[in-house]
Amino acid sequence: MKPGTALLAAASLALAASVAARAEFLQPSGVAEPVNDHAVLEGMPRLLSDFGFFENAPEQEPARGVTPYRLNTPLYSDGAEKLRFVYLPKGASMTAQGEGLLDIPVGGALIKTFAFGEGADRRLIETRVLLHRAEGWLALPYLWNAEQTEARLAIAGARVDLTTPKGEAISYRVPNKNQCKECHGLSGEVVPIGPKARNLSHAWLSRMVADGHLDTMPQDADQLPLWEERENAPLTAAARAYLDVNCAHCHQPGATASNSGLDLRWEQQAPDALGIGKRPVAAGRGAGGHLFDIVPGSPDASILTYRMASPEPGVAMPELGKATVDEEGLTIVRRWIEEMAP
């Protein structure tokens, strides 16, 4: 690794650790106006501020009833810093469902802001909200203005030119309303994909239980390793966690890429479902001439790593949510395949 790249990686890791520490125990300060429950339950507000999710939106300071959280292993999005929050209406609580998704009641919401840069140079790009309504979940993207004072509903999506933490100039894509369904779609419905008990810390979950925001401590919580500490985790756990978070929302039964025949969820143990020794079903030119999704001992012969390593549209995986290759994730998955017995 070049010295400059090493320094940048170290700085990014330090930032991630700082954000993680804040997200675990940050509490809203002062007395603020309550969240606008009507906006959560009805219509499509034109401005992010219409919801009242933040006491100070440019600084991402949450309002009363809005709680920050972090994921042990996060989804890769071109190195974006992500600030995640969950909103629960007064008197409501979530229900644990084993190691899986927390069941968030109607009237609740998930909020995620994507930012690039550090300190005074930090730039908020978009905030995505997932609103739980009586008729189901609604996903809406909001694009931040240049002044960093407000985010406006971006039904048609947007493109934003920016530079990633690794110095790569990209055209960042804010998804349109329909594209949200490509990742959040399951069995014809929009669903959350992030806050699974297995990918949340015991400390955060315990606090939510103590505060009355979660009915009970979930079984098998906090299983996925912390991504920034992946080198100290079992290799299989780190690789499987990465695939679970970055790939399994599409590659599972009932999801948008179920026709691939892959099921990359954490709980899946069948080798053929994970792609080991499995011929592709619908890879097309994305197979790159390779014959199997995963060839034990040979990542160079595996379709999975071939597609992860490609930036080419139509070949690159995941198809949405990134414009660059996640070299760190690719390295972990390659090592996992290399150590498989042929």
**In this predicted structure, what is the pLDDT of residue 26?**
44
Regions of the chain where pLDDT drops below 50 = 1-31
What ranges do the domains of the chain cover? 3-210, 227-338
Q: Which two tokens stand for residue 209?
A: 């239980």
pLDDT of residue 215: 96
Q: Taking the CA of residue 228 as centre, how many other CA atoms within 13 Å lie in the half-sphere pointing to its CB?
A: 17
Cα separation of 109 and 88, whole Å?
7
pLDDT at 281: 82
Say what the pLDDT of residue 183 is. 66
**The pLDDT value given to residue 38:** 97
Three-state SS string over 296-329 comes to CCCHHHEHHHHHHCCCCCCCCCCCCCCCCCCHHH
pLDDT for 2: 39
List residues bridging with 215 in a β-sheet: none
Q: What is the pLDDT of residue 219?
A: 84
Q: Output the pLDDT for position 182.
A: 62
- 275 phi-psi bin (left φ>0, alpha ψ -120 to 50, beta other): left
Report the largest interatomic distance among the alpha carbons of the chain, rounded to a whole angstrom: 61
Using DSSP's 3-state secondary structure scheme, residue 46 falls into: coil
pLDDT, position 201: 96
- Residues 142/151, Cβ–Cβ less than 8 Å: yes
**pLDDT at site 292:** 94
The H or E element that residue 331 is part of is helix 327-338
Side-chain half-sphere CA neighbours of 324 within 13 A? 20
- The region that residue 52 occupies, defined by phi over 0 for left and psi between -120 and 50 for alpha, beta otherwise, is left
Task: Confirm if 137 and 190 have CB atoms less than 8 A apart.
Answer: yes
Task: Produce one character per residue of 131-155: b if its CB has 16 or more CB atoms within 10 Å, e if not.
Answer: bbeeeebbbbbbbbeeeeeebebbe
Distance (Å, rounded) from C-alpha 282 to C-alpha 294? 15
